Structure 1
């Protein structure tokens, strides 16, 4: 479920005050190759930069 849909649902059931939106992401990612001694941990902005990203694609399956 996308954040937008989750937010809309929470608002519709009266939980709008439970929604938290940080100004900047603190999430990090670790690539799938290698092991814990060779892995590189990157923030989302760092990943976008090194990957020359043009944008993001939502690959989550929507609930039916």
Structure 2
């Protein structure tokens, strides 16, 4: 099982930005980090093995292989 942590940035306070992160809940390790989903992105999915990330758009899907 995986959990998605939505990234954020801070304008004030000297805090650093946090990337979007996908965590493997069985090990507690990060399996993927990525910047913002491109404009128009409708969603994303991670395959059960944690090796591929799919970003969905209205008429297309981008697949990323995670190492």
TM-score by length of 2: 0.23
TM-score by length of 1: 0.24
- More helix by proportion, 1 or 2? 1
Greater C-alpha Rg: 1
- More strand by proportion, 1 or 2? 2
By relative contact order (CA 8 Å, sep 6+), the higher-ranking structure is 1
